[in-house]
């Protein structure tokens, strides 16, 4: 018995979609050299807004805000890459 082409394509698409979602992971990011006013907001709404400490972990969907004179933070990604965020960013 032959299956219609659309059913075969749908099955292949669902299998590939499952593989893609399994491969994608949420990037974990560590904050260092924080000071003095930095706030983190989880845009998904799962966690309340907080002021991080050195070593605090944030995720891709978090909003990191530096406000005020001398505020700064360094984001350290799980692959070793870093981003320096200066004041009022």
pTM: 0.65
Answer yes or no: is pLDDT of 15 > 80.
Answer: no
| Average pLDDT of span 37-57 | 91
Distance CA 88, CA 69 (A): 8
Q: Is residue 50 scored above 50 in pLDDT?
A: yes
Residue bearing tokens 């669902």: 14
Residue bearing the bigger pLDDT, 86 or 9: 86
Quote the strand ranges of the chain, DSSP E.
Answer: 28-35, 38-42, 57-59, 62-66, 72-77, 82-85
Chain position carrying tokens 């099955």: 11
In this predicted structure, what is the pLDDT of residue 26?
62
Pairing of strands 57-59, 28-35: antiparallel
């Amino acid at each position: 018995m032959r299956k219609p082409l659309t059913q075969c394509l749908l099955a292949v698409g669902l299998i590939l979609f499952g593989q893609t979602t399994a491969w994608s992971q949420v990037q974990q990011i560590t904050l260092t050299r924080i000071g003095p006013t930095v706030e983190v907001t989880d845009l998904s709404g799962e966690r309340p807004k907080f002021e991080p400490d050195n070593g605090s972990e944030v995720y891709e969907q978090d909003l990191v805000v530096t406000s005020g004179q001398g505020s700064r933070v360094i984001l350290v990604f799980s692959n070793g890459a870093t981003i320096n965020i200066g004041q009022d960013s």
